[in-house]
Amino acid sequence: MGHSLLSILCLLVSLFVYSCICAPLEDQGRDKITYLPGQPGSVEFNQYSGYVTVNQQSGRALFYWLVEAPTSRRPESRPLVLWFNGGPGCSSVAYGAAEEIGSFRIRPDGKTLYSNPYAWNKCMCYR
Expressed as residue numbers, the domain containing 99 is 3-122
Looking up residue 76, the CATH number of its domain turns out to be: 3.40.50.1820
16-43 pLDDT, tens digit each: 555 555 555 667 778 998 888 999 988 8
- Whether residue 127 lies inside any domain: the answer is no
Do the beta carbons of residue 68 and residue 121 sit within 8 Å? yes
Global pTM value? 0.68
Residues 30 and 51: their CA atoms lie apart, in Å, by: 11
pLDDT given at position 100: 79
53-111 pLDDT, tens digit each: 889 899 888 888 888 888 888 777 777 777 776 666 667 777 777 777 888 898 999 89
Do the beta carbons of residue 114 and residue 103 sit within 8 Å? no
DSSP 27-82: HHHHHEE---TT--S---S-EEEEEEEEETTTTEEEEEEEEPPPTTS-GGG-----
pLDDT given at position 112: 92
Q: How many domains does the chain have?
A: 1
